[in-house]
Amino acid sequence: MQPEPFTRLEAYSLVLPQSNIDTDQIIPARFLTTTSREGLGKGAFYDWRYTGDDVPKNATPFPVEGAGERKILVAGANFGCGSSREHAPWALLDYGFRAVISSDIADIFKSNALKNGLLPVEIDRTTHAKLMEQPGIRIVIDLERCLIETEHGLRAEFAVEPFARRCLLDGVDPLGHILAQESAIAAFEDAR
Amino acid sequence: MTDAARPRSLFDKLWDAHVVVPESEDSPAILFIDLHLVHEVTSPQAFAMLEERGLAVRRPDCTQATLDHSTPTLPAGADGRLPYATEAAEKQVRQLEENCARHGIDLLGLDDPRRGIVHVVGPELGLTQPGKTIVCGDSHTSTHGAFGALAFGIGTTEVGHVLATQCVLQRKPKSMRIDFEGELAPGVGAKDMALAMIAQIGADGGQGYAVEFAGPAVEALSMEGRMTLCNMAIEAGARVGMVAPDQTTFDYIEGRERAPQGEAWDAALERWRALPSDPGAAFDREVRVDAAAIRPMITFGVSPDAAAPAGGRAPIPATAGEREAADYMRFIPDRPFAEMAVNRVFIGSCTNSRLSDLREAAEVMRGRQVAKGITALVVPGSEAVRRAAEAEGLDTVFLESGAEWRLPGCSMCIAMNGDQGAPGDLVVSTSNRNFVGRQGKGVRTVLAGPATAAACAIAGRIVDPSDYLNGEAARAA
């Protein structure tokens, strides 16, 4: 399943200042007994959003109905650490996020996010610290130029692995890319 | 110096040997995968993707499936039905059975005497071997690096890629060597090494790196200890942890069901002996850990790098994050950990559920009673571990001490099969993650090695296990 192309996103931020937000926070393991990738938004940050019995918490940064216009999650360092569950980006996308900004995003989460059109944006610590102090501001993320800009004039460049960037901008299919190398794979197997 | 003569690390050799298409500025390398391990939680959507695109599994012969995450650890009831936590969990198990049958993949099914946790059964069957590339939709795949394999966790989309092509797209990570210098003190184990290492470099200290663990304390470890250490590499942020193969490795593998036999064994040994890092091989980062200074460790926070000696005191939080973690864990700053009462103990998981782990725990628990009010769960990593443990009477030791002896599975490590703590419980656990709510909503997890966890079960509070181990030694003498 190809994600929707991602070129430019203009949206508002939702800030989680905590560091080391792990994939068990993003979606608790009890939501993983599914054979589908649909509808996981209900489990996104579930224990931050609800008490045990589906009653929304009063003090939570997360709107009950979904991210709405706050499609950009700004989070503390080492975001997405922990398990390899791709349910984490699936849940964040289904809840309504399209991008995560941090100073440092865990490897497997980053790889999973890119494959699903949730843009992981790693920026310098100074700009990151400033973004964390300004929840709800308007941010433009430009994947063509690899640049973020805020309504108050903050700017930061970011790097995205070039192939993943091409997949998002041009709709290149990574599996198709590997399948196109069938003869090289067959030759590799024969040579062993 | 020509490129061929350049000293290469174990990691370089593993990488180079599996490149189908080299990486370029535009594209990652296409890397061939020798062994793909599959379990029920991270695979259904990948199989669905194959169906959608009309693709077959390219190499069922390089694919091994098992059931571990969603499976109950209690036996079937009077009605013959296993006590699944939810209908969804049972459906997930059925789905993997169907997918494996349809695509000709060998599955260690519910009744298979070889079934167990994916990172326990791969090595047990002899499928995990030096020089292989191994992936699984599970971050603790780093475990298999203990054999000198290049093993790492992948997401479900990549599980689909490997099913369809036997390859993954990968940029070569940077390399790090972590040297454990000196010898471990008696009663200190691989889990303590892992926690001390993570405390030193941080939960993201290994991010972007493939880590080789080396040094005398690593060489002295058993294969099971090396698996524990490599298992925890991901808790330092490193997808890959590995140890150079040596005689300990070869002795473990020889004669196992799927290990090479006869002439193929001799040929394999020759290849495997060439794998260790060449003298002078370059690493992007080198770290030294003083192994002799390591004491039995526990975690006191909600990230695995919040680790300290079990016999010590809770640190005084310095940052907002540390204060938040301390509030959640309810540790009292600057008070001895020993003042913390324990509610539950879990001995198991892909980190610490192998026979040597259970022996270590049993040594502490033999002839002693689990403290009043504490639930202690011992969950072997596989059916093979269960049989071996029962053959030497470890199940009796646990049961007589008041602990529960369960069927193999991931159980309380990920707590998605119904095995979990109650809100507020302090759980001392031999698993790998102390994240908020990981072992049940509101559960406070303290990570530790098997001897420490067992000693905590007996004491009913957090303790350094040394006294219990010495006591046992004295009794035996």
A35 in B contact zone (CB under 8 Å) = yes
Instruction: Please state the rounded mean pLDDT for residues B355-381.
Output: 98
Q: What pLDDT does residue A58 have?
A: 84
Q: Is residue A179 part of a domain?
A: no
Tell me the average pLDDT across B268-284: 98
- pLDDT above 90: residue B5: no
Residue A42 forms contact with B (CB below 8 Å): no
Q: Total domain count for chain A?
A: 1
Q: How many CB pairs under 8 A join A and B?
A: 167
Q: Which amino acid is at B393?
A: G
- Taking a C-beta distance cutoff of 8 angstroms, is the pair B457, B345 a contact? yes
Q: Do B435 and A22 touch (CB under 8 A)?
A: yes
A95-144 confidence digits (pLDDT tens): 999 999 999 999 999 999 999 999 999 999 999 999 999 999 999 999 99
User: pLDDT value at position B476?
Assistant: 45
**pLDDT > 70: percent of chain B:** 97
Residue type, A5: P
The answer to whether A32 contacts B41, with C-beta atoms less than 8 Å apart, is yes
Nearest to A35 among B92, B138, B171 (CB): B92
Q: What is the pLDDT of residue B1?
A: 47
Spatial neighbors of B5 by CB under 8 A, at least 6 apart, are none
The pLDDT, as a whole number, for residue B370 is: 98
* Residue range of the domain that includes A101: 8-160
Contact status of A128 with chain B (Cβ, < 8 Å): no
How does strand B404-405 pair with strand B375-378?
parallel
| Residues near A192 by beta carbon (within 8 Å), at least 6 away in sequence | none
pLDDT of residue B4: 64
In a domain, A180, yes or no: no
Give the residue-averaged pLDDT of B89-98.
Answer: 98
Domain membership of residue A3 (yes or no) is no
What ipTM describes this predicted complex?
0.96
Nearest to B155 among A19, A77, A112 (CB): A112
Q: Is residue A56 part of a domain?
A: yes
Band of pLDDT at residue B450, cut at 50, 70 and 90: very high
A 137-156 → B contacts, CB under 8 A: none
pLDDT tops 80 at residue B471: no
- Out of B26, B157, B169, the one facing A86 most closely (by C-beta) is B157
Res. B47 pLDDT band, cuts 50 70 90: very high
- Angle at which helices B223-231 and B355-365 cross, to 10°: 100
- Kindly report, residue by residue over B145-172, the tens digit of the pLDDT: 999 999 999 999 999 999 999 999 999 9
Residue A176 lies in a domain: no
Residue B470, pLDDT score: 64
Domains and CATH numbers, chain B: 7-294 (3.30.499.10), 296-476 (3.30.499.10)
A34 touches chain B (CB under 8 A): yes
Asked if the structure places residue A190 within a domain, the reply is no
Amino acid A140: pLDDT: 98
CATH number of the domain to which A92 belongs: 3.20.19.10
Could you read off the pLDDT of A17-49 as tens digits, one per residue?
A: 999 999 999 999 999 999 999 999 999 999 999
For residue B474, pLDDT beyond 50: no
Q: How far apart are CA A131 and CA B162, in angstroms?
A: 38
- The reply to whether residue B27 touches residue A163, judged by beta carbons under 8 angstroms, is yes
Across the interface, whether the CB atoms of A111 and B155 are under 8 A apart is answered yes
Average pLDDT over residues A68-88: 97
